[in-house]
Amino acid sequence: MSTTITSKGQVTIPKHIRDYLGLKAGSRVDFDVNKEGRIEVLPSEPRSEETPQQRLERALAALEVDNRWNGTTDEYMALIRGED
């Protein structure tokens, strides 16, 4: 996933990542460069005691994903889009 940097140096953090990290409007984040040279975005102050697994489960529940789905991703996307 890519995004564009604005003239003010701003980027939009995708919603699924904000949800995963528990970020809301006004949340503060820290940026760091790890030993592999990748940028890490971390919440400055954890907003809850939820584990990453609990946050993921909450995000999936918000998407109303049926965990029993056995089809392909393309089939599921066609189903929720109402495509025949």
Residue at 21 is within a domain: yes
Which residue range is the domain that position 23 belongs to?
A: 15-81
Give the residue, 71 or 12, on which the prediction is more confident. Answer: 12
| 1 to 47, 52, 69, 83, 84: CA distances (angstroms) | 25, 20, 25, 25, 28
Residue at 30 is within a domain: yes
- Tokens, residue 59: 């995000």
- For residue 37, the model assigns a pLDDT of 92
The pTM of the full predicted model, rounded to 2 decimals, is 0.46
Residue at 68 is within a domain: yes
Number of domains in the chain: 1
Burial 29-48 (b: 16+ CB within 10 A, else e): eeeeeeeeeeeeeeeeeeee
Length of the chain: 84
Residue at 64 is within a domain: yes
Residue at 7 is within a domain: no
Q: Looking at the predicted structure, is the pLDDT value of residue 65 above 60?
A: no
The answer to whether residues 69 and 76 touch, using CB atoms and an 8 Å cutoff, is yes
